[in-house]
Amino acid sequence: MPGALAYAEIREGTVSRASREAVGLARRIAADAGGETHVVALGPPGTEAAAAQLAGFGADRTWVGESEALALSQPDIAAAAIARLVEAGDYDAVIFAATAQGRDIAPRVGARLGRSVASEVVECRREDGAIVVRRPMYAGKAIATLRFTPGPAVMTIRANVFAPVEESAAGQVSSLDLEGLEGRVRTTALEQGDRDRLDVSEATTIVSGGRGMQGPEHWPLLEALVEALGDEAALGASRAVVDAGWRPHGEQVGQTGKTVSPNLYFAVGISGAIQHLAGMRTAKVIVAINRDADAPIFGVADYGLVGDVFEVLPALTDAVREARWGS
Partner 1 sequence: MNTIVCVKRVPDSATRVRVTPDGAGLDPAGVKYVVNPYDEFALEDAIRRKEEAGEGKVTVVALGPPQTAESIRQALAMGADEGILLACEGSHDALSVARALADEIRGREVDLVLFGKQAIDDDNMQVPQMVAEFLGLPCATVVVGLEIAGRDATARREVEGGHEVVEFSLPAVVSTQKGLNEPRYPSLKGIMAAKRKPLDEREVTLDAPSIEFLRLDEPPAPAAGRIVGKGADAVPELVRALRDEAGVL
Q: Footprint of partner 1 on residues 113-172 (CB under 8 A)?
A: 114-120, 132, 136-149, 151
H helical segments located in 33-74: 47-51
Q: How far is the CB of 89 from partner 1 (least distance, A)?
A: 18
Q: Which of 69, 211, 275, 296 binds partner 1 (CB under 8 A)?
A: 275
Cα separation, 224 vs 202, in Å, equals: 19
Q: How far is the CB of 101 from partner 1 (least distance, A)?
A: 7
Q: Which is nearer to partner 1, 117 or 226 (CB)?
A: 117
Q: Count residues contacting partner 1 (CB under 8 A)?
A: 98
- 90 lines the binding site for partner 1 (CB under 8 A): no
Q: How far is the CB of 277 from partner 1 (least distance, A)?
A: 9
Q: How far is the CB of 256 from partner 1 (least distance, A)?
A: 5
With CB under 8 A as the contact rule, which of the stretches 28-36, 43-51, 210-218, 271-279 interacts with partner 1?
271-279
Q: Which of 1, 163, 170, 186 binds partner 1 (CB under 8 A)?
A: 186
Nearest to 258 by CA among 284, 274, 244, 237: 237
- 190 lines the binding site for partner 1 (CB under 8 A): yes
Cα separation, 258 vs 231, in Å, equals: 20
- In single-letter form, the type of residue at position 118 comes to A
119 — phi, psi (to 5°)?
-100, 145
Q: Which of 68, 191, 217, 294 binds partner 1 (CB under 8 A)?
A: 191
- Contact status, residue 40 vs residue 59, Cβ threshold 8 Å: no
- Contact status, residue 159 vs residue 200, Cβ threshold 8 Å: no
Q: Which of 189, 217, 294, 326 binds partner 1 (CB under 8 A)?
A: 189
With CB under 8 A as the contact rule, which of the stretches 25-33, 51-59, 109-117, 162-170 interacts with partner 1?
109-117
- 235 lines the binding site for partner 1 (CB under 8 A): no
CA 268 from chain centre, in angstroms, equals 23
With CB under 8 A as the contact rule, which of the stretches 23-31, 33-41, 46-54, 96-104 interacts with partner 1?
96-104
E strand or H helix that includes residue 286: strand 285-290
Cα separation, 304 vs 135, in Å, equals: 28
- In single-letter form, the type of residue at position 18 comes to A
* Paired sense of beta strands 130-137 and 123-127, if any: antiparallel
- In single-letter form, the type of residue at position 78 comes to A
Residues in region 239-268 near partner 1 by CB under 8 A: 248-250, 252, 254-257, 259, 263-264
Q: Which of 104, 157, 237, 295 binds partner 1 (CB under 8 A)?
A: 104
The CA angle 266-271-272, to the nearest 5 degrees, is 75
- Contact status, residue 225 vs residue 317, Cβ threshold 8 Å: yes
Q: Which is nearer to partner 1, 20 or 281 (CB)?
A: 281
Residues in region 276-315 near partner 1 by CB under 8 A: 278, 281-282, 284-287, 293, 298-308, 311-312, 315
